[in-house]
Amino acid sequence: MVSLSNTLSIIVSRIHLTVACIAATLLSGCASVGEKVGGLLASSANAIGVVDGHILRGQASFTKAREATVLLKGTAGASLSCFGPLRFNSSSSGWVDLACNNGQSTVVAFRSLTALSGAGRGMLGGHEFSFTFGLEAEQAAAFLEVPADSLAEPVEKPGASSEAR
């Protein structure tokens, strides 16, 4: 004959097992939930590069914590554009690996200023290349060693069209 204490012991064991199974099921979904939340919280930051006197402007699009994709395009008639991954390798530094449409590439180390901003210098095709992301034009100009007004966004004149006629 099964005693009352044995019956209670079995019931309690089954309750613990059930709670453990429910907890495991809930926790197993954390990675996918985290990825979905990370995707919703994705952000982009201004990115600016200067090489051989040419200004490249674009975005660093953060899709994961500590990782972004950088796209820079030449301004004022410069046809150079560069694209590549940006990764933090510590809380205060990282690198960006850029491949450009002229066949050149570079890996530039940077120092982070905040979680979504930083600045670095390297070489591209025998020329010094300086790079910032997540900084306003005035802040970026100081690091890039160019006048702040040269980094101002171009303003389209009223009635002018950016498309060729």
pLDDT range class, residue 149, cuts 50, 70, 90: confident
Query: How many helical (H) and strand (E) elements, i.e. helices and strands, does the chain have?
Result: 3, 8
> Quick one: pLDDT at residue 35?
45
Yes or no: is domain 43-151 CATH 2.40.128?
yes
User: What is the distance of C-alpha 118 from the center of its chain?
Assistant: 11
Mean pLDDT of the chain: 79
Q: Helix, strand, or coil here: 152?
A: coil
> Domain extents for the chain?
4-39, 43-151
> Alpha-carbon distance 121 to 49, whole Å?
9
62-to-21, 42, 59, 133, 151 alpha-carbon distances in Å: 36, 6, 9, 11, 22
Question: What digits encode the pLDDT tens for the residues 86-95?
Answer: 999 998 999 9
Question: What digits encode the pLDDT tens for the residues 70-82?
Answer: 999 998 776 899 9
> Quick one: pLDDT at residue 164?
44
Question: What digits encode the pLDDT tens for the residues 108-124?
Answer: 999 999 888 999 999 99
Q: Is the confidence at residue 65, as pLDDT, over 60?
A: yes
pTM of the model: 0.68
> Quick one: pLDDT at residue 152?
77
User: Mean of the pLDDT values across residues 29-50?
Assistant: 64
